[in-house]
Structure 1
Amino acid sequence: MLQAIGLTSAPRRDLPPAVDDLTFEARPGQVTALLGAAGSGKTTVLRLMLDLAPGRGVTYFRGRPLYRIAHPAREVGALLGDVPGHPARTARGQLRMLCAAVGVPAARANDMLDLVGLAALADERLSMLSLGMDRRLGLASALLGDPHTLLLDEPAKGLSPRENCWLYGLLRGHAAQGGTVLYTTDDAKEAARTADRVVTIEGGRLVADQDATEFARTRLRPRVAVRTPHAARLGALVTREARAARRSVEVVTEGGTRLSVYGSDCAQIGETAFRHGIPVHRLAEETGDTGPGPAQGQDPAREQQPAAAEAPVKAPTEPLQSLQSLPSLPRRPSRSPLRPLRYELHRLLGTRTTLLIATAVLAASVTISVLLARTGSTPLPALLAAWPDILPLPPAAFGAGLLGAISFGEEFRYPALAAARGTVPRRVGLLLAKLGVSAAAALLLGFLVAVADAQALRLVYGEDLTHVPDKWLSMAVSWSGLTVGCAWAGLLGAGVFRATAAGVAAVLAVPVLVAPVAQQMVVAPSARSVAGLPGRLREVAWLQWPYEIDPWLVAAMRVAAQPVGAALALSLCALLCAYLFTGLRRRTYR
């Protein structure tokens, strides 16, 4: 059972809270509609239940709050708005990425595409999907972990009657298997047709919590929709006969050819029309909303839909059979630390952005390296790194920083993990995965740039510039530290300030702002030397490492002694502390 107790949103300034002390429940095996007009706080209610919005109150999912559920994705699935994915990512790629985050096999993505009818569009990009297909993909994302509870924010908004029938049939099938379904809507007739229970809110407060039958009896009333070319004449005749028979009948004219008759039925109106020779083009019993006008949730456009849209939605058997035919998942998802790593690899390789950045970096590096070698005054390390004095960073380091910034920037621009807290890997695991993947991408990019520059120099100028330098080890360590440090600076900068541009700014701030300060400390005269530090460390350490590691330690210390290296170290320490303070102290990923 889903229980929401005392939900209250945090008010902004002097405004009243969007949700104020709201308490209700949604029972398993039933579809519950959260009904309210636009601005009544429906979306805020769902965000409070998922810990995605600040506020008070608690929500129990089968007796446990969300933060105490070991595997939230197996308990709750959510669809808030459109599918929050990168427009260039394919439907299959989006689901596989979320499968890695949830901890289910990648084959589950194909199963869900078959379930929602998107198997033929699996390789279609998200930007090319229609509204109906987008909602289907969002529902597939919510069902990935086979959750017990579904939370959906206006899932049928803007859909055709056929899409509505399929959607509510699938929700009904999920409830028939014992699951709990809660969705929001602003259409009272839709709630009465498709839900078992209706919770009505207004201004963030509870108005009514009723069974669908009681809701239809108290909030809605039956009517007869009539379409005839003689609407005014037929309306007058129905009214006159009702007065003669002392029956309470109300006739409302809706346009030149339409009537809505309350308090009568199709048989009586059809007999009246037949006796007076009035042709009738449409005669159907419908359900009308007795509540306020459009401001309170009545959509006039819906009244213009054909009769098929007004017919009660019957749960088809196909969605239920499809749900039952899905392969069963293990009771406990994998707790492997590779879950966030798999997610990050899918995110990195799921779009063309990474390939385009790498291609641009290689082209720029080769061009700059060949041009620098013409003068003959540039040292070999600068040639291989394609780093002229005019640039604050070489192209490879800047490209690595850009990839790092995009790593967290995409999470906030296209928040695939924010729709449901259940799909979020633990924040520490997600951070470590991003650090590891960005470091590997930076090292690979730096290696490819060095090899490409060396081959281009050999091709253009011959073998003279391709010899192996004596201090190749320290050069390799320095180059690796620079690229990885820039990647991490971009990643942490974007994670702290929640924007890709902020991550890029953090990368550029290292050579432009921090490096000059570090240079003043490094070039200052020193009265003492740290020579022999590896040997002294070996004496005090409890773990004895081989003597072959000493050259690597010395090379690392030389890198740290460089102005850019010191600046990177200072920047990374500051950004990491800021990230830990601003990010990990939150319980949720927003």
Structure 2
Amino acid sequence: MLQAIGLTSTRHRGLPPAVDDLTFEAGSGSVTALLGPPGSGKTSTLRLMLELEPGRGVTYFRGRPLHRVAHPAREVGVLLGDVPGHPARTVRGQLRMLCAAAGVPASRADEVLDAAGLVGLGDQRIGTLSLGMDRRLALASALLADPHTLILDEPAEGLVAREADWLHGMLRSHADRGGTVLYTTRDPKEAARSAGHVVTIDSGRLLADQEAADFSRTRLRPRVAVRSPHAARLAAIISREARAARRSVEVVTEASSSRLSVYGSSCAEIGDTAFRHGLPVHQLADEVGDTGPASRPRDSGVLGDGLRDNGLLRDCDPLSEGEGEGKGGDGAAAAARPATGIGAVAAASRRAAGGRAPAVESAGAQLPPRIRRRPARGPLRPVRYELRRLFGVRSTTLIVAVTLVASAAVSVVLARNGRAPLPNVLVAWPSLLPLPPAALGAGLLGALSFGDEFRYPALAAGRGTVPRRLGLLLAKLAVSAGVALSLGLLVVLVSAESLRLVYGGDLVQVPSNVMSLAASWSGLTVGCAWAGLLAAGIFRVTAAGVAAVLAVPVLMVPLIEAVPKAPTARSMSGLPGRLRELTWLQWPQEADRWVLALVRVVAHPVGTALTLSLSVLVCAYLFTSLRGRVRW
């Protein structure tokens, strides 16, 4: 069961809250529709329930608030808007990536593809899906972890009748298995047709909490739609004949002067009337009309006597119950109204907490608990998620291919005159370029790691941010480092093979300082990848990551080279031995060469610039992450 108690959104600039003291329930095994016109607070209600917006109130999912659920994806499946996936990613790839985020096996992706009717579209790109298929994918994403509760914001909006019927059939099937379904809609006919329970709100306040049968009886009325060029004359004749026959017939002129809505009559009677008086009729059809929600004063919360006196309460009062339709005075209306306010908060909270009193703030005992907007959770399997995110789009393969081709071409050109050093030829780094193609490619892949995350936030749908959890950061750093090292090795191998193919096999020889060169090359590629990743994570855009990579040779290296250099009085040649004595660790003698190579890399101007840049970026990333958590 889902219980929303006292939901109240935060006021902005003195305006009334979008949601004001809203309390309702959505039972297990049923579909509940949250009905309201545009701007009535439906979406804000869902966001308050999911702790995506600050405010007051509490929402219990089977007796627990969402922030106390260990694995929220296995308790609540959410559909807010469209699928936030990369348009170049396949449907199956998107679901497999989300499987890693939810901590479920990858085989679950094929199961939900079958359930959503997307088996034949598993290899299709998300950007090519129609609206109906996109909505099916969104529902499949919500069902990945097999949650008990489904919360959907206008899932059938814009769908054709066949797709909408399929969607509501899926929701009813989930409810029949014992799940809880809550979805928002603005169409009362859709709510009456597809839901078993209807909660009507307007201006953020509860108007009615009814079963579908009661809602249909009090809100929807049969009518005859008439279109005629003489609509005003026909309306007068129908009203006059109804009064003469002492029949209850209501004629409403629509916004268009040629259209009428007639309540309490039939197509045959209106057609006969128009024929007798020689009036042409262009349309004559039976419809089900929406009488609209009955409004009530915001201060008293009861219907006015004037509404009850003129008979409208009988037809359109959504608060009246079956046997008391318009008869029973204020007592019946009060009995039909759901309880709201602090009394309902206390009672419902005690029911959900097993009789214990709800936890409210001591300074405001008459206010429901405060809802704090909480940061998004990271993926449960971050390394697996990052690997599927990286290799699930064609841009990664394209960047690697372009880097290898450009490196091979530059290497062949550099080796032509024979004046460039062999290490520069193998890594394709001429003096004219600030960085070799491999470093630029690694930096671009690192920048896309967070840049695509913010552009297509699959991890944080509806939150407007990407989780900055330590596990996700470490996974991105590890995966980007592995990709950078692999790219650097491939560049060297491809360049050597290109030189052997073009100039023969005597050109490429293993240099004596291969360890130092390998450490330098590895540090450069990994450092560029991390610089792009951290900068994109800080500034939330891929271009910032690329700019951070280019800033190392263009800005940082000239600054470091401009610093006056003092004469060296001491040497670090014995550093490996002193480290061994300090750490009490025994490592092979070969490791000493790697330590010295690493020291030489850091002491190089490019290495120093890259180290300083990474230090600044790490501090900035931690600062923005901590500031974000304090703000939430």
**Same-fold call, TM cutoff 0.5:** yes
Equivalent position of 1:286 in the other structure: 288
2:159 is equivalent to residue 117 of structure 1: no
How far, CA to CA, are the matches of 2:507 and 2:380 in structure 1?
42
Aligned ranges 1:43-58 → 2 under 5 Å? 43-58=43-58
Cα distance in structure 2, aligned partners of 1:8 and 1:471: 68
The residue identity in structure 1 corresponding to 2:476 is: K
Q: 1:455 aligns with which of 497, 506, 513?
A: 497
Q: Does the alignment pair 1:343 with 2:343?
A: no
Equivalent residue runs for 1:440-519 within 5 Å: 440-519=482-561
Q: Is the 8 A contact 1:404 1:438 kept in 2?
A: yes
CA contact (8 A) 2:250 2:262 kept: yes
Does the C-alpha gap of structure 1 residues 438 and 152 become closer, same or farther in structure 2, counting only changes over 3 Å? same
Q: TM-score, normalised by structure 1?
A: 0.84
> Which position in structure 2 is the counterpart of 1:128?
128
Give the structure 2 partner of residue 65 of structure 1: 65
Answer yes or no: is the 8 Å Cα contact 1:29–1:177 preserved in 2.
yes
- Is contact 1:341–1:434 with CA below 8 Å preserved after alignment? yes
Aligned pair in 2 of structure 1 residues 120, 256: CA closer, same or farther (>3 Å)?
Answer: farther
Deviation (angstroms), 1:528: 2.3
Q: For the Cα contact (< 8 Å) 1:142–1:150, is it kept in 2?
A: yes
SS in 2 for 1:531: coil
Deviation digits for residues 125-145 of structure 1 (CA, Å, limit 9, x no counterpart): 111111111101100110111
Q: Which residue of structure 1 aligns with residue 26 of structure 2?
A: 26
What is the CA-CA distance between 1:433 and the residue it aligns to?
1.6
Partner of 2:335: none
SS of the residue corresponding to residue 222 of structure 1 reads: strand
Alignment partner, residue 264 of structure 2: 263
**One-letter amino acid of the counterpart of residue 88, structure 2:** A
Q: Gaps (5+ residues) in structure 1?
A: 294-335
For 1:435, the aligned partner's letter is L
- Alignment counterpart, residue 427 of structure 1, candidates 463, 469, 482: 469
Determine the structure 2 residue equivalent to 1:330.
none
Q: How much does 1:491 deviate?
A: 1.0
Letter in 2 for 1:125: R
Residue matched to 1:332: none
How far the C-alpha of 1:415 sits from its partner, in A, is 1.2
Q: Equivalents in 1 of 2:452, 2:500: separation in Å?
A: 39
Aligned pairs, how many?
547
Distance between the aligned counterparts of 1:172 and 1:420, measured in 2? 25
Counterpart of 1:314? none
Partners of 1:165 and 1:587 lie apart in 2 by 42
Kindly indicate whether the alpha-carbon contact (under 8 Å) linking 2:102 and 2:379 is maintained by their aligned counterparts in 1. Answer: no
- The answer to whether the 8 A contact 1:74-1:146 is kept is yes
Q: Which residue of 2 aligns with 1:304?
A: none
Taking the aligned partners of 1:259 and 1:559, their CA distance within structure 2 comes to: 84
Partner of residue 451, structure 2:
409
Q: Does 1:190 pair with 2:190? A: yes
Unpaired stretches in structure 2, ≥5 consecutive residues: 296-377
Please give the secondary structure, in 1, of the residue aligned with 2:247. coil
Q: Distance in 1 between matches of 2:626 and 2:69?
A: 18
The answer as to 2:88 corresponding to 1:84 is no
Once structures 1 and 2 are overlaid, which stretch shifts more, 143-152 or 359-368?
Answer: 359-368
Distance between the aligned counterparts of 2:535 and 2:9, measured in 1?
A: 30
Matching of residue 98 in structure 1 with residue 98 in structure 2: yes
Instruction: Report the equivalent of 2:308.
Output: none
The CA deviation string for residues 257-288 of structure 1, in whole angstroms up to 9 with x for no partner, is: 86422134568668878999999975435132
**SS of match in other structure, 1:463:** coil
Structure 1 pair 337/218, CA: closer, same or farther in 2 (3 Å)? closer
**SS of residue paired to 1:465:** coil
Alpha-carbon distance in structure 1 between the residues aligned to 2:550 and 2:190: 54
Q: 1:264 to 1:355 in 2, by over 3 A?
A: same
Distance 1:133-1:342 versus aligned 2 partners, 3 A rule = same
Distance 1:507 1:4 in 2: 48
The answer to whether the 8 A contact 1:522-1:561 is kept is no
User: Against the structure 1 CA distance between its residues 465 and 207, is the aligned structure 2 distance closer, same or farther, given a 3 Å change threshold?
Assistant: farther
Q: Is the 8 A contact 1:253 1:260 kept in 2?
A: yes
CA contact (8 A) 2:100 2:379 kept: no
Q: Which residue does the alignment assign to 1:180?
A: 180
Supply the AA of the counterpart residue of 2:401: T
Amino acid at match of 1:260: S
**1:561 paired residue number:** 603
Please say if residues 92 and 110 of structure 1, whose CA atoms lie closer than 8 Å, have aligned partners that are also in contact.
yes
Does structure 1 retain, via aligned residues, the 8 Å contact 2:207–2:293? no
What is the RMSD computed on CA atoms of the aligned residues? 3.3
Q: 1:436 aligns with which of 475, 478, 487?
A: 478
Alignment partners' CA distance in 1, 2:589 and 2:567: 30
1:248 and 2:290 equivalent?
Answer: no
